[in-house]
């Protein structure tokens, strides 16, 4: 997951706008009290998400995969005055944790948490989205892409996290003696699906664990 040397990562973070106090606490306490803290976006990716949102000034954002609510807060920073971010997750145990930090910000009323399975919830959404952020189970990335594509406006952006999958998308990043595991294959299939989609333009950014940015034509 760490493709840059530690000193280069530190340099990049030192020359990136810092986290707010709330995001700092959320970052620290996720690492201290929640399992698999590497799932948290963190400063560098979080500031990237915030900048994209601020540049686009979205009215509607859909996030698939909430975790502890860090990326939702970052994306919410760019919402219009009447904007709304819908975030979907099936882990009810982390809802109160995420809300406790959202409630410390002016964005709490703009975040709509939907508990349940994304493949069931997405078809019920009638909104037209400016930004969609996919950061959930890898096996369903291609499904999520298909479910959201027609719900994104022309000129909208779909972002997908973990598309380098700790380097396992290339042979050098995985043991030669092992078959490709299901999650890695799902990421490979998703990346290829996006690359071949004539309805969109895309760039795979080597930010953190890989971030695919997809522009809907």
pLDDT digits (tens, 9 = 90+) for 181-194: 999 999 999 999 99
Rounded to an integer, what distance in angstroms lies between the CA atom of residue 119 and that of residue 102? 25
Cut 0.85: pTM above it: yes
CATH number of 6-216: 3.40.50.150
Query: Which tens digits make up the pLDDT trace of 82-140?
Result: 999 999 999 999 999 999 999 999 999 999 999 999 999 999 999 999 999 999 999 99
Cβ-contact 30, 40 below 8 angstroms: yes
Distances (CA, A) of 13 to 16, 18, 128: 5, 8, 34
Q: Indicate if the pLDDT at residue 1 is higher than 70.
A: no
């Amino acid at each position: 997951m760490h493709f840059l040397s530690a000193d280069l990562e530190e340099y990049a973070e030192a020359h990136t706008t810092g986290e707010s106090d709330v995001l700092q606490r959320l970052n620290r306490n996720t690492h201290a009290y929640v399992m698999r803290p590497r799932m948290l976006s963190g400063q560098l990716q979080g500031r990237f998400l915030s900048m994209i949102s601020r540049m686009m000034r979205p009215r509607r954002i859909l996030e698939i995969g909430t975790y502890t609510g860090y990326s939702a807060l970052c994306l919410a920073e760019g919402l219009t005055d009447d904007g709304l971010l819908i975030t979907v997750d099936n882990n009810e145990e982390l809802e109160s944790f995420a809300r406790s930090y959202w409630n410390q910000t002016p964005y709490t009323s703009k975040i709509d948490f939907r508990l349940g399975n994304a493949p069931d919830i997405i078809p019920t959404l009638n909104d037209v989205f400016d930004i969609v952020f996919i950061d959930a189970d890898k096996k369903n990335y291609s499904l999520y892409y298909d479910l959201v594509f027609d719900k994104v406006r022309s000129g909208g952006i779909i972002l997908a996290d973990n598309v380098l999958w700790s380097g396992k998308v290339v042979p050098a990043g995985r043991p030669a003696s092992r078959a490709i595991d299901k999650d890695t294959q799902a990421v490979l299939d998703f990346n290829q699906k996006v690359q071949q989609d004539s309805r969109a333009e895309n760039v795979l950014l080597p930010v953190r664990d890989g971030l695919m940015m997809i522009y809907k034509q």
